[in-house]
Amino acid sequence: MHKLWAVIRREFQTRVQSKAFVISTILGPLLMGFMMVMPILMASRETGSKRIVVIDGAGGNFGQSLERELSEARRGGGTDAQPRYEVIRIAARGRVQAVQDSLVPFTGLARDTVHRLDGLLIATDSAVDAGVVKYLGDNVGSMSDMGMLENFIQNVILSERLQRRGVDPAIVRAASGRVNLVTAKISEGRLTGESGAASFALAYAMAFILYLALLIYGIQVMTSVLEEKSNRIMEVLASSLTPFQLMAGKVVGVGAVGLLQLGIWVGTAMFLSHNAVAIAGFFNMPPESAAQMPLPAICWDLLIVFLAFFTVGFFLFAAAYAAVGAMCNTMQEAQQYSTAVTLLVAVSFFSIFSLLNDPNGSLARVFSLIPFFAPIVMPVRYSLTSIPLYEVALSFAITVLGLFGVAWIAGRIYRVGILMYGKKPSLKEVFHWVRTS
Amino acid sequence: MNETILKLDRVTKRFSGHVAVRELSLEVPKGGIFGLLGPNGAGKTTTLRMIMNIIVPDQGKVVLFEGQKSGREYSDRIGFLPEERGLYKKMKVVDHLAFLGETKGMNRKVAIQKAREWLERLGLHDWTAKKVEDLSKGMQQKVQFIGTLLHDPELVILDEPFSGLDPVNSEVMEEVVVEIARSGRTVMFSTHNMEQAEKMCDRVVIIARGVKALDGSLSEVKEGYGKRNIALTFGSGGGGKAARVLQDPSLVSTLNDSGTSAELELAPGASSQRLLRSLVEAGVELLRFEVVNPSLRSIFIAKVGAEAATPVASEARNA
């Protein structure tokens, strides 16, 4: 036991003392703080509204309605809201093309040019009838800008169409207007105060962190084994330590490093999210903006589920990676087998997109019972919806069993592989190792 | 009676159809220096690995400390320096040695203390806190050596320990080995450097092509070859002139000609004096003409022969 501990400590110490670890551990929280604060700072510092010319070739009030709707659009919230657009309407019935041609040279010029335009919105009768509106500008690549513009225009077209069919303009005005869907999450019969967007962000972030951690630290185990084989330290170790001590020591040591780094990152995230208001104040931002910060609250039971599944999942994959390292001699050889393992991790990561749609669907339930997928799938599901305790426990138990199975097989492979030098073994040979070891 | 610290009983190992070690039996008594000699590919490394139970013999038994357990289970009492050895490049020297000590069951603090003492003794004091990759190859070898001895093992097994060392470092290590042996430990090392083996070993076993060729104490082995060896050193040009005399089969049965010096075995019936007279008459300038005990090297070459020194070609060995 003392020897196993010596191996664990060595693996842990050499990694924690390395520059790479220190840098990435500090970088993580910095990046998070940055991501929290930056979007708000940027939004509030945005200079000027977009200057749009409405080239009005349509009959009736359509052009004016468009102008009004766009002028009233605001960005930012509360008392600091700024106009989103600076709108200039040019009546151009019958000469739309000519006006357009004359304005294009002024559009999309460098930021500090005085007489510049951001975009040209062309209103014609066919716009109202067929619903096709042309917009020429330099921000057409931005999906959010275009989406927003489309929304505004849609409202105007809708009310124009209604008006042309004789609906009272007052009624039209009262009936139109954007609908704002305000979402809030209910978990276990209680209101958590979290919005839909935050839920998604949390689930995605968790899956991503798990995915990244499994890959980074899992592969570290593999490269570490390869290195020990190639620089022959393995020979000395094999004469004093059992293969089990070597493999388990390495997996636990690397796992501990991963947990430490993860703990620091998650801890920072929790700290930041619980103190969002204070941080907003620190940067002289209004308290309401704290609500817009993308980091959602993380509750304790989710954290426990996350950590428990991460730990078991990590050991499972780390054992598999260790076996791959033991089988091969160089990184190139190892890549073929390690890709197979990585694929398993990737599948569970990409499954979260279907999970978001239906956290309790058949795909979700099946994946929760497969040891290779459960470590990522279960925590994500848990963050999206409440799951009966027995289901969580069952999934965990199956994953632990899976871990024992993989560890047993990996151990047999490790025992033979670490002193094997020579060509890469075929799968058949590896089976033989497992059976006869 | 002197206990046997290690015994091999008809140990055999095959690799993909080629027999690396065939029915090897030997006994290593406690205390002293034991040499396992043989040319490249003779099976020395395979034998040592089987002693440590890193590989398992196909037939035969390995008995350590007259007990029942296998090499790794006794690992705390054995120090093993493999032929292909390495170190963790990024670790600090003292941490690395402490780790190696811990893998042998040492307490960490004690291991660090001993490591420092050893580093001081072998002149590496300034490198204690440096990373292994900062040391030269010779220094790294010293560190590996310390790692083998740190836990004060009763039995020290060294596979080609002096290969690649410069004469000064080699000397230092030799002194350490001799001192350990004098204090009652047992040292077993494999080498194909006969001069070194001759200097240091109490007992030797010579193997070639997986088979034992000679076994016994150094003096036994030499006496077995009788006092019929002559060591010659020539003055300028002597070697050429002596050639014809030395080719005479009625005078010389085995010749080991090194240019300015030579060692030969007299043919049966020939006398050392007749050889001397023939050489002088041929005008050879002699700086040394001595009736000697045969050197281990010449015994080895005679016994094993140039043929047996080349291993049988086979498919790639495993490890």
Hey, which residues 51-80 in chain B have their CB within 8 Å of chain A? 52, 54-55, 71-72, 75-76, 78, 80
Q: How far is CA A143 from the centre of its chain?
A: 18
Q: Across the interface, which of A2, A231, A421 has its CB nearest the CB of B89? A: A231
Tally of domains in chain B: 2
Residues B169 and B253 in one domain: no
pLDDT of residue B245: 84
Tell me the two tokens of residue A275.
């103190």
Q: What is the DSSP string of A267-332?
A: HHHHHHHHTHHHHHHHTT--TTHHHHSSPPP--HHHHHHHHHHHHHHHHHHHHHHHHHHHH-SSHH
Do B108 and B208 reside in the same domain of the chain?
yes
pLDDT tens per residue across all 319 residues of chain B = 468 889 999 999 988 778 999 999 999 999 889 999 988 888 899 999 899 888 888 999 999 988 888 777 888 999 999 888 889 988 999 999 999 999 999 999 999 999 999 999 998 999 999 999 999 988 999 999 999 999 999 999 999 998 888 888 889 899 999 999 999 999 999 988 888 898 899 999 999 888 998 898 888 888 777 667 888 898 887 777 888 888 888 888 778 888 888 888 888 778 888 888 988 888 888 899 988 878 888 888 877 775 555 555 543 444 4
Question: pLDDT class for A18, splitting at 50, 70, 90?
Answer: confident
The range of the structural domain enclosing residue B277 comes to 229-292
**At residue B289, what are phi and psi to the nearest 5 degrees?**
-140, 105
Which chain B residues touch A7 with a CB distance below 8 Å? Answer: 103
Q: 10 Å Cβ neighbour count for B221? A: 22
Confidence (pLDDT) at B97: 95
Question: Do B251 and B135 fall within a single domain?
Answer: no
Write down all domains in chain A, each with its CATH number in brackets. 48-175 (3.40.50), 193-436 (no CATH)
Q: Measured between CA atoms, how close is B1 to chain A, in angstroms?
A: 30
What residue has token string 């849609």?
Answer: A154
Residue B105 shares a structural domain with residue B250: no
Residue B60 lies in a domain: yes
Are B206 and B268 within one domain? no
- Per the domain annotation, does B318 fall within a domain? no
Q: Which residue of B has its CA nearest to A425?
A: B318
**Whole-angstrom Cα distance, residue A293 to residue A34?**
11
Query: In the 8-state DSSP scheme, what is residue A59?
Result: S
Beta bridge partners of A54: A89, A121
Average pLDDT over chain A, rounded to an integer: 80
Residue-level pLDDT at B308: 52
| Contact (CB<8Å) A241/B85 | no
Whether residues B195 and B46 share a domain: the answer is yes
| Chain B residue at shortest CA distance from A9 | B99
Shared-domain flag, residues B114 and B19: yes
Cα–Cα dist A131/A408, whole Å: 65
User: Could you tell me if A15 and A21 are in contact, meaning their C-beta atoms sit under 8 angstroms apart?
Assistant: yes
B82, A3: Cβ pair inside 8 Å? Answer: no
Same domain, B11 and B39: yes
Residue B272 included in any domain? yes
Considering only A206-210, A253-257, A394-398, which range has the smallest mean pLDDT? A206-210
Q: What is the pTM of this model?
A: 0.73
Assign B105 to helix, strand or coil. Answer: coil
Mutate to test the interface with A, among B45, B103, B109, B141 (most CBs of A within 10 A): B103
B108 and A6 in contact by Cβ < 8 A?
yes
Query: Based on the domain organization, do B21 and B88 belong to the same domain?
Result: yes
> Are the beta carbons of A420 and B54 separated by less than 8 Å?
no
CATH, residue B288: 3.30.70.100
Mutate to test the interface with B, among A223, A232, A235 (most CBs of B within 10 A): A235
B152: its two tokens: 């004060």
Mean pLDDT of A214-229: 89
Residue matched to tokens 């050489």: B279
Instruction: Decide which of A99 and B227 is more confident.
Output: A99
Which value does ipTM take for this structure? Answer: 0.74
How close, in Å, is residue A414 to chain B by CA atoms? Answer: 13
The yes-or-no verdict on residue A33 having pLDDT over 60 is: yes
For residue B111, what is the domain's CATH number? 3.40.50.300
Hey, what long-range contacts does A264-269 have (CB within 8 A, 24 or more apart)?
A264/A25, A264/A28, A264/A29, A265/A25, A265/A28, A265/A29, A265/A32, A265/A209, A266/A209, A266/A298, A266/A303, A266/A306, A268/A28, A268/A29, A268/A32, A268/A33, A269/A32, A269/A295, A269/A298
Question: Does one domain contain both B157 and B234?
Answer: no
Q: Are residues B97 and B240 in the same domain?
A: no
Clarify whether residues B158 and B108 are in a common domain.
yes
